Amino acid sequence: MIIQPHIQGCVARNCHPLGCRAAVHEQIERVRATGTFAGPKRVLVIGASSGFGLASRIALTFGSGADTIGISLERGPSEKGLGSAGWYNNIWFREAAEEEGRVALNLIGDAFSDSMRQQSIMAIRERLGQVDLVVYSLASALRILPDGTQVRSVLKSTGSPFSGLGYDLEHDALIPQSLDPASEQEIRDTVSVMGGEDWQIWMQALAEAGCLAHGAQTVAYSYIGPESTYPLYRDGTIGYAKEHLHASAEAINLQLAGMGGHAWVAVCKALVTKASAFIPVLPVYLAVLMQVMKERGTHEGCIEQMMRLFGDKMYGGRGVLADGHRLIRMDDWELDPHTQAAVAALWARVTPENFRTLGDFTGLRRDFLALNGFGLAGVDYQAPLEPSSLLALHP
C-alpha cells in the first residue's frame, strides 16, 4: 500500500512508518552535529514517544550517553490501521540506541496508572538500578484516576469567551475559532489531567521504591508565552494546569531534599507538536513567530531546545540555570522584546487572504507532517509498503 497523509482539521489520522524512522534519525544527526555533554547516565522519560519527550530521550542518549526507559501509550498495527507515529518512533529510537550500546527500554501503557508505575519500578531495578533524571512529558486529554474515574481536560478560556483566526491544517486555510468559558469543574478536571499531581505521585513512588539515585533531578515541561497569547493559553484552562505544574515543582523539590535532589520546570518556546497544533488560534501565532525567529537566526525545533536545555542550562557545568521559581526559561529567545515586537506587528496584519506572506505556515505544516513521518528527505513515498512487514516490529 502507498501511504499518503490523512489530516482532519488539526489532527493526523495516519503515519508513515519509514518516514518516522527518517525523522528520528534526523534528530539523532542533529545531536551528533552539536556535540556531547556531561549529563545523566540513567534516565526515565514519562511520555517518551513524540515531541519534547522523544527529543529529550534522543538528546540524552546521543548527547550524554544515557541509558533510558521510556513510557508511552501508543498503538501498533492492527486491522484498524498501521498504528501511531509514536509506536514507530519508539521502535526506531530503540534500534538506534542499541546500536550505540545503550539501554533503550520501551514500556507501553497508561502512565497515569499504578500498574505502569510498578512496572517501571521493576524495570528500573532490573535494567538501570536507579535513575539520575526523571523527565515528565505527558500530554493527554484523559486521565483515569486510581478509583477508575475518568477525568478529561478541555481547551477553553476562563471568565469570558475568546475568538480569533485559527489555522486549519487540513485545508491550509485560516478560519474563525473561539474558546468558550470553562466551568469550575472543567478547570479542576483540566488541572487534574495536565497539572502536577501525577508528576508528584510518580516522584513519591520512585523515591519510596529506592529508584532515585542520590542527587537525582526531575524536570517537567511547560509554556507561558507572551502577553498576547494569554487569553488562549495562560489565562485559559491549560494555563491553570501549568500553574499547578509549576507549584508542584516546589513540593517535589521538598520531597527530594533529603537525597540531594531537585525538581524543575522547563518553560519551552512555542513549537510545533501534536498538542500545540490542536490549540485554537495558537498555531497562527506560532507561524508568525517561526517566520521572525528564522529571520533572526534564533529558531529552534524540539531537538535543539532539548540539547540547549540539557547541554547548557541543566548540565552545562554552571549549575542549573533557573529563576527564583524553579523555572528554566527556554523561552528566553522567544520572549526577546525585539522578537515580540516584530511578531506583534506581523500578527496584527494577518488575514485569511495574506497569511502565507506574513508567517511561516509552510514551515509549520512541514513540521507537523514530519511528526507523523511525512515529507522527510530520503523517503520514497511512492513506494508501496507491505503492512505485514510491520507486524514483526516491536517497541
- Does 223 appear as a known binding residue? yes
What pLDDT is stored for residue 41 in this prediction? 98
Say whether 50 counts as a known binding-site residue.
yes
Residue 25 counted as domain residue? yes
Q: Is 272 annotated as a binding residue?
A: yes
49 annotated to a ligand binding site: yes
- Show which residues are catalytic: 233
Residue 133 lies in a domain: yes
Does residue 195 form part of some domain?
yes
Residue 222 domain-assigned? yes
CATH number for 231: 3.40.50.720
Has residue 240 been placed in a domain? yes
Q: How many domains does the chain have?
A: 1
Q: pLDDT for 244-269, tens place per residue?
A: 999 999 999 999 999 999 999 999 99
Report yes or no on 199 lying in a domain. yes
Spacing of C-alpha 74 from chain mean position: 15
Q: What pLDDT is attached to residue 146?
A: 82
181 forms beta bridges with 157
pLDDT at residue number 391: 86
CA-closest candidate to residue 248, choices 196, 310, 321 = 196
Weakly modelled stretches of the chain, pLDDT under 70: none
Structural domain includes residue 149: no
Q: Quick check: is 389 in a domain? A: no
pLDDT tens-digit map of 137-173? 998 899 998 888 999 999 999 988 889 999 999 999 9
Annotated ligand binding at 248? The verdict is no
User: What is the extent of the structural domain holding 133?
Assistant: 15-140+187-280+300-331+369-379
